[in-house]
């Protein structure tokens, strides 16, 4: 099974509702594309279904636990086509959260290895303007890694 990030489907309103909305749309300016996101939650180890994203995108993660001294989690990004390991996104033995920015479009999966942790992962596509405002912490990823920090 594969997931594609897309806007939620909405019910079609009847014709009587369209006129005020149409008038509002004609007088308003559209301010960009609709945000697209996909969320995964769990409390055990798993591999997520495949998902397809367009660059730029972020992976926003959160880890909670009733046993903070014993929590452990790793989140690895896998190529959705080959299953090959692309890189380790998160490796921690603490509760917390973080965000990673990615510059590559593609089809991916995540392998989440979790011990005594409840976790939540949000995959969200960004506009180029939103990505430019993102300022990552400076860490030492390899130059050719999809996890590399943005070069301005």
Domain membership of residue 18 (yes or no) is: no
Domain membership of residue 102 (yes or no) is: yes
Note whether 100 and 91 are within 8 A (CB).
Answer: no
Domain membership of residue 140 (yes or no) is: no
Note whether 38 and 121 are within 8 A (CB).
Answer: no
Note whether 92 and 73 are within 8 A (CB).
Answer: yes
pLDDT tens track for 104-141: 999 999 999 999 999 999 999 999 999 998 876 665 55
CATH number for the domain spanning 90: value is: 2.60.120.380
Average pLDDT over residues 25-31: 30
Question: What is the count of structural domains for the chain?
Answer: 1
Domain membership of residue 9 (yes or no) is: no
pLDDT over threshold 90, residue 10: no
Domain membership of residue 1 (yes or no) is: no
pLDDT tens track for 35-49: 589 999 999 999 999
Domain that holds residue 44: 37-133
Domain membership of residue 142 (yes or no) is: no
Average pLDDT over residues 14-27: 37
């Amino acid at each position: 099974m594969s997931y594609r990030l897309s806007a939620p489907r909405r019910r079609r309103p009847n014709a009587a509702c369209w006129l005020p909305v149409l008038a509002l749309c004609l007088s308003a300016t559209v301010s960009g594309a609709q945000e697209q996101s996909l969320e995964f939650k769990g409390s055990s180890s798993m591999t997520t279904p495949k998902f397809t994203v367009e660059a730029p995108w972020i992976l926003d993660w959160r880890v909670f636990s009733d046993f903070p001294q014993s929590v452990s989690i790793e989140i690895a990004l896998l190529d959705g086509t080959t299953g090959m390991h692309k890189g380790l996104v998160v490796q921690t033995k603490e509760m917390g959260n973080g965000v990673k920015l990615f510059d590559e479009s593609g089809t991916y999966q995540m392998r989440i290895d979790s011990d005594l942790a409840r976790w939540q992962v949000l995959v969200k596509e960004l506009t180029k303007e939103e990505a430019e405002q993102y300022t990552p912490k400076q860490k030492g990823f390899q130059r050719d890694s999809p996890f590399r920090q943005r070069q301005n």
